[in-house]
Amino acid sequence: MSAPLIACHECDLLQREVALPRGGVARCARCGAELYRSHPHGMERTLALTAGAIVLFVLANSFPIIGLQLEGQTIQTTLYNTVRTLWDEDMKSVAVLVFVTTIAMPALQLSALAYLLFPLRLGRVPAHFSAVFRVLQTVRPWGMVEVFMLGVLVSLVKLAHLAGIVPGVALWSFAALMLVMAGIGAVFDARGLWARASRLQGAAP
């Protein structure tokens, strides 16, 4: 059996796939673009980071993001309450945008990752593997926790001279979530995941 063909995503040159050494990178023979790379323990690392990200995501959505101290009173708010307030204050498009990019999409991405990775790690291919995989690839660019963090930091600086700011547990959780999500992006190995699933499917009777 000959090796499968792969097309360069930069210049379309068709070439045969080769097995890579640990940590190696395959480059296009014509233009040098990176075709794929070997991710040692890519799946285990992604799984560990996903488990951590789920815990951080739950914390980030259960605790207050910030508290404002004004005239002896402290007002605290969670992310979900912020979205509701925006909605009630007739800033519905902003409310939808914040909800989609910081709650819905990260939740969908983490659920899809957990749904695909946990069974695969245990040697089973989950039902609807390719459909869930496509959902994962579609939602990945829409999670914008880092943009949200930037927005929060800018507003905190602006608010700092009006009221006392008390950073909440959720703010730290969001900061950590941002780093862990970036880590998932770096170690996630789509090719390795497919290869594992097709090996398991091939081995099934």
Q: Can you say how many angstroms the Cα of residue 51 is from the centroid of all Cα atoms in its chain? A: 12
Distance CA(109)–CA(116), nearest Å, equals: 11
| H/E run at residue 132 | helix 129-139
Distance CA 78, CA 59 (A): 10
> Rounded to the nearest whole angstrom, what is the least distance from the CB of residue 15 to Zn ion in the complex?
8
Length of the chain equals 205
Six token digits for residue 67: 């508290």
Instruction: Write the interaction track for Zn ion spanning residues 29-68; mark x where CB under 5 A is met and - where it is not.
Output: -xx-x-----------------------------------
Q: Is 25 in the site for Zn ion (CB under 5 A)?
A: no
The nearest distance, CB 30 to Zn ion, in angstroms, is: 5
Element of type H or E holding 7: strand 5-7
> In the complex with Zn ion, which residue's Cβ is closer, 34 or 44?
34
Q: Which stretch binds Zn ion (CB under 5 A): 13-21, 99-107, 128-136, 160-168?
A: 13-21
Q: Is 11 in the site for Zn ion (CB under 5 A)?
A: yes
Residues binding Zn ion (CB under 5 A): 8, 10-11, 13, 28, 30-31, 33
